[in-house]
A and B are shown apart, each in its own frame.
Chain A
């Protein structure tokens, strides 16, 4: 099947006076129509920059050096601002980790929703406001006809996230980019939001790219997982396969840390002395417990472990089969 989104060798840097800082170092990723994929990694891995690159939102001093992003048959990085406006918010929608900041504090949420709807549909303000009420209802906001008149500060964090989801889905996008949708929410509310998002995405047949630091969220709400480290995808695979037989030492490290609490084990197995990364080697070498000489000499490519499961590691087979303690 033709992927909906294909990110091919994308390289992005942050240009400072003192020199460029490479943030994305050749990201390859594809998203199939209707699929949900989780992007996991710790802060600084480049998850949010990847999301912004896909939307072609990066401006100076950010610079895309190389690569291609094909979405629905079109080359996003080659598009003009005018054409992008027909894609952003319509075919590809975004929810940010801080819903309150995504909303305008001075405008009633109904007006904001209606404004977004009218930007791409020729209807009257009144009709758009009626659609806004429906949209709020569809995301489970009680008394939607009253709530359209609320300002963002009158809503809780969970309600703001619902409004943002309603906005994002108001044009039935083909792809929803959800950047840390539950980051600032309490756990009992977070589950409600994730369930809602999964249900709506399924209903619209949209693809979902869920960016998260939480290994638990991705395990339960995504069909595939991609792990980012130092601006690269270091492993990608079906959720079940990944959680059962992760093939990259960094993925193993993340899983171990996330599971430590329940398993009542110490997480920091083999704390590795930080060494400087070799200029040509794998970026994870300094922290890797199973690094070999080859890892310092060249960077491994994202190569298959088995069908649909790939990792950027020379020892991926051994790690996946548990033959070495990574």
Chain B
């Protein structure tokens, strides 16, 4: 049995926005990540995926819910305890250039988290910076340059070097490739995969890009308006999505092959505002399967295939799964 590294239970985050209104960014989200595993959190803008990532690091305070990292409860940690946690949980940000201080040399940028962890001498820190720059295939000569002297792909490598400098156990990757061109994107994903193998890292990969996610993650959780609508093993889920939102999301991906039939499983309309969440299932206004029940209550997640949780009243029936096919199995 794999070791649980991170466990998130019933996480809620609401942002007050004045006039007694709140943005309901995360509405009761639970998932876990095992050691050495990559979980992808996939969703469109406004789904709450980035907010989940930030809550885990306590960059923003969760409204409710429990976050456990390697057995320690993160949501109640004091500032001192959090400081001790930082080297173990790191983050790579979406905008490579904006997340690097333009007035610092690369040496300083990558060294900063090690310096803050406070366990190395200056000489050790220098060696460590050189080492991680090698690991991300930039080379130690990068040290004395400034961020603007690098391409976007190289800047993202610097961001990754900074994240792995303290030998973290978990790295939250917030859209690490969405600002990059397609060929650079592939290089960064390959690099992340290699680093995971070499350093036994666990990743929480936050992305809206399904094509990027598929190759690198072990499990996927698909979010829509602050809820996880479906989760399960990556290959099986991509092969056969069961929730109507997952189906629509996957059929929106245009594969670069003109002979491939375009899927017509599309959603109508726009994503509703997280301030005025629709009653019942959040998708019902856009869903081709919606019936009256969907209007009244939010469906509970059900295990429809082994390891596959789906929150939809009609998924079993519409995917023509009979009761026997859903064997229950151990919970994922």
Q: What is the interface of chain A, defined by CB distance below 8 A to chain B?
A: 42-43, 142, 156, 158-159, 186-192, 213-220, 239-240, 243, 253-255, 257-262, 264, 266-268, 271
Q: Is B1 part of the contact surface with A, judged by Cβ < 8 Å?
A: no
Task: Place the interface of chain B in its size category.
Answer: 35 or more
Q: In the complex the two chains form, what is the Cα distance from A142 to B286 in whole Å?
A: 14
Q: Take A42-B183, A261-B212 as given contacts and tell me if A243 and B270 are in contact as well, using a CB distance cutoff of 8 Å.
A: no
Known: A186-B271, A189-B270. A243 touches B258 (CB 8 A): yes
Q: Is the CB of B256 within 8 A of A259?
A: yes
CB of B257 within 8 A of CB of A42, answer no
> Would you list 12 pairs from A and B whose C-beta atoms are within 8 A, ordered by A residue?
A188-B249, A191-B252, A191-B266, A216-B254, A220-B258, A254-B182, A257-B185, A260-B186, A260-B215, A267-B183, A268-B183, A268-B186
Contact partner of A268 among B44, B187, B254, CB < 8 A?
B187
In contact, B182 and A240 (Cβ under 8 angstroms):
no
Cβ distance A139 to chain B, nearest Cβ, rounded Å: 13
A158-B270, A187-B210, A264-B215 known; A257 vs B255 contact (CB < 8 Å) = no
* Given known contacts A268-B186, A268-B187, A187 and B252 CB-to-CB distance under 8 angstroms: yes
Q: Does B116 contact A (CB under 8 A)?
A: no
Interface centre among B182, B249, B255, by most chain A C-beta atoms within 10 angstroms, is: B182
Beta-carbon nearest neighbor of B46 in chain A: A186
Q: Does B22 contact A (CB under 8 A)?
A: no
Given contacts A188-B44, A189-B270, A268-B186, contact A216 B181 (CB under 8 A): no
Task: List the B side residues contacting A259 at CB < 8 Å.
Answer: 255-257
For A142, what are the chain B residues with a Cβ–Cβ distance below 8 Å?
Answer: 269
- Is there an interface contact between B262 and A220, defined as CB atoms closer than 8 Å? yes
Contact among A158, A190, A255 for B256, CB-based, below 8 A: A255
Residues on A with beta carbons closer than 8 Å to the beta carbon of B182: 42, 213-215, 254, 257-258
B13 adjacent to chain A (CB < 8 Å): no
The answer to whether the Cβ of B308 comes within 8 Å of any Cβ in the partner chain is: no
How many Å lie between the Cα of A218 and that of B256 in the bound state? 8
Q: B259 on the interface (CB 8 Å rule)?
A: yes
Q: Are A190 and B252 in contact (CB under 8 A)?
A: yes
B258, A188: Cβ atoms closer than 8 Å: no
The 8 A CB mask of B54-65 against A (1 = contact, 0 = none) is 000000000000
Q: Which 7 A-B pairs have the closest CB atoms?
A: A267-B186, A216-B254, A261-B211, A186-B44, A215-B256, A187-B252, A42-B181
* Contact partner, A188, options B183, B214, B259, B267, Cβ 8 Å: B267
- Provide the bound-state CA to CA distance between A260 and B214, in Å: 10
CA distance A272 to B271 in the complex (A): 43
Q: Are A187 and B253 in contact (CB under 8 A)?
A: yes
Chain B contacts for A218, CB-based, 8 A? 256
Contact between chains at A159 and B270 (CB < 8 Å): yes
CB of B116 to closest CB in A, whole Å:
33
A222 → B minimal CB distance (Å): 9
- Cα A219 to Cα B261 with chains together (Å): 11
